[in-house]
């Protein structure tokens, strides 16, 4: 065996290994992208489920005759979960994430104002549009937030 033959053989092996490594890298990148999409879909499902629970809680609050505090706490809990999942979603803009967060903040900080029937009905409509993935839901959320007197209780 000559030195030239040995070098050609090493070069062929290096090329084969680089091709195999490139293929493996492409496969792992594809698997990573697929898993990221799957995780985002799970987050979207959980976000919508929490919005549905919040809508049910608002309906229960509006139809109730007693124990409004427990029903309001349930609205807070469900909205908190939806708010958490909103920040994990990649397909929402920062403004949309902030609108959901501010809606949750208004429920926490201004319960006396948010407990008014017309605001609860507006909240229910907003959540319904958010669950339907309509852009107007975020605009309605911002409109509802703007009606809150942030200097009062």
Cα–Cα distance measured from residue 133 to residue 30, given in angstroms and rounded to the nearest whole number? 28
CATH architecture of 42-146: Up-down Bundle (1.20)
For residue range 30-88, what is the model confidence (pLDDT) as tens digits? 999 999 999 999 999 999 999 999 999 999 888 877 788 889 999 999 999 999 999 99
What local confidence, expressed as pLDDT, does residue 93 receive?
A: 86
- The residue assigned the tokens 């309906």 is 59
């Amino acid at each position: 065996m000559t030195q030239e033959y040995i070098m050609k053989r090493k070069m062929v092996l290096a090329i084969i290994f680089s091709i195999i490594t490139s293929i493996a890298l492409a496969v792992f990148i594809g698997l990573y992208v697929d898993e990221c999409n799957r995780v985002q879909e799970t987050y979207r499902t959980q976000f919508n489920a929490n919005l549905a629970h919040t809508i049910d809680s608002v309906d229960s609050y509006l139809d109730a005759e007693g124990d409004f505090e427990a029903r309001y706490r349930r609205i807070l809990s469900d909205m908190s979960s939806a708010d958490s999942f909103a920040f994990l979603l990649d397909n929402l803009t920062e403004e949309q994430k902030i609108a959901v967060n501010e809606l949750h903040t208004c429920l926490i900080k201004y319960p006396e104002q948010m407990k008014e029937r017309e605001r609860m009905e507006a909240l229910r409509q907003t959540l319904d549009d958010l669950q339907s993935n309509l852009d107007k839901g975020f605009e309605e959320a911002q409109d509802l937030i703007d009606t809150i007197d942030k200097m009062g209780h």
